[in-house]
Amino acid sequence: MGRAWCYGDSVDTDVIIPARYLTTTDPAELAEHALEDLDAGFASAVQAGDFVVAGSNFGCGSSREHAPVALKGAGVGAVVARSFARIFFRNAINTGLVIVTCPELVDVTDSGDEIEVDLAKGVASNVTKNQSFQPEPLPDFILEIVECGGLVEWVKRRTNAA
């Protein structure tokens, strides 16, 4: 369980991690600047297991993998959004940041609400509002990558099998 940090539509990767910080690939350094240009207080106040809750097209723009790495490094338990931009979606799956497509949860959630996500059971809940929803399931193929723990392990499994 964690608190919700709510934002709007089209949260782009330039505000998730501005280009001026792309001279490093270190997750801890990137985490210090997560969402800095959108919410300067986020990085210092976010706690492990908190949730970013956003509108449509989350993660649009640049292909920088630093974006999901920064959020994961900051301890974000999952990003719950109405929809995700496609490169961010792939990058999150590949790097192990949990992403949840659940417009209904976004609709009822305010910043500070307690959120709980149980992907095994397929339930996303706003505990504060006492409402639960079913997130959009991931396709089986993508679940396979998630279950491997990301793309690196998935590739290792495939190349070793071949």
Partner 1 sequence: MGQTITEKILARHSGRDEVRPGDIVMCRVDLAMANDVTAPAAADAFARMDVATVWDRSKIALVASHFAPAKDIASANLMTRMRSFALEHDIEHLFEVGRGGIEHILLPEEALTLPGDVVIGADSHSCTYGALGCFSTGVGSTDLAAVMATGEIWLRVPESLRVVYSGAPPPWIVGKDLILSVIAAIGDDGARYMAMEHTGDTLGYLSMDSRLTLTNMAIEAGAKSGIIAPDQTTFDYVSSRQAAVGRHRDWPTLASDSDAAYASEVRIDAASLEPMVARPSLPSRAVPVGEIEPVRVDQVFIGSCTNARIEDLRIAAHVLGDERIAPHVRLMVIPATQRVWQQANAEGLLDLFAGAGASVSTPTCGACLGAHMGVLGPDEVCVSTSNRNYVGRMGHPSAQVYLANPAVAMASAVAGAVAHPAEIRPDAPNLVPELVVG
What does the binding site for partner 1 look like in residue numbers (CB under 8 A)? 10, 12, 14-15, 18-20, 22-25, 37-38, 56-57, 60-66, 83, 85-87, 90-91, 94-95, 139, 141, 150-152, 155-156, 158-160
C-beta separation of 72 from 125 below 8 A: no
Identify which of residues 3 and 64 has a Cβ nearer to partner 1 in the complex.
64
Instruction: Kindly state the smallest distance separating residue 37's Cβ from partner 1, in Å.
Output: 4
Least Å distance between CB 132 and partner 1?
27
- We find the least distance from the C-beta atom of residue 63 to partner 1, in angstroms, to be 4
Pairing of strands 114-118, 2-6: antiparallel
Closest CB to partner 1 among residues 120, 140: 140
* Tokens matching residue 12: 């782009």
User: Helices (H) and strands (E) in the chain — how many of each?
Assistant: 8, 7
Closer residue to partner 1, CB minimum distance, 47 or 156: 156
**In which residue are the tokens 């495939």 written?**
158
Q: Identify any residues that bridge with 117 across adjacent strands, giving them in sequence order.
A: 124
Distance (Å) of CA 96 to CA 91, 124, 134: 8, 18, 21
Q: How many CA atoms lie within 13 A of 117 on its CB side?
A: 25
Nearest approach, Cβ of 93 to partner 1 (angstroms)? 9
